[in-house]
Amino acid sequence: MADTNVGARPATWRVVLAFILDLLMAFIVIGFLVAWMFGGLTEEGFNLTGGPAFLLFGLIIAYFVIFNRFLGGTIWKRILRAK
């Protein structure tokens, strides 16, 4: 019997949840890496201003573009099957 959901769009809540989780994960992981490289680590986490903050912003945008365009979806889109 053929699957009737082939080609169907994922539920909206999955796409929204995947975006929120991807954004949080990218901000935390990439943020700590950029802060570690530029000396922005603090006891509470990280603090970035100026150039490193713009770099973080650019890397987060690059994460979404590269994963969605070339790798078939971001990490949380794949986990939640929200492609």
Confidence of residue 73 (pLDDT cuts 50, 70, 90): very high
Is 4 a member of any domain?
no
What would the pLDDT profile of 61-71 be if each residue is shown by its tens digit? 999 999 999 99
* pLDDT for residue 45 is more than 60: yes
Integer Cα distance of 53 and 14 in angstroms: 29
Count of structural domains, the chain: 1
The pLDDT confidence band at residue 28, using thresholds 50, 70 and 90, is: very high
Distance of alpha carbon 36 from alpha carbon 33, whole angstroms: 5
pTM, two decimal places: 0.81
If you average pLDDT over residues 32-42, what whole number do you get? 92
| Residue 3 is assigned to a structural domain of this protein | no
Structural domain harbouring 74: 19-79
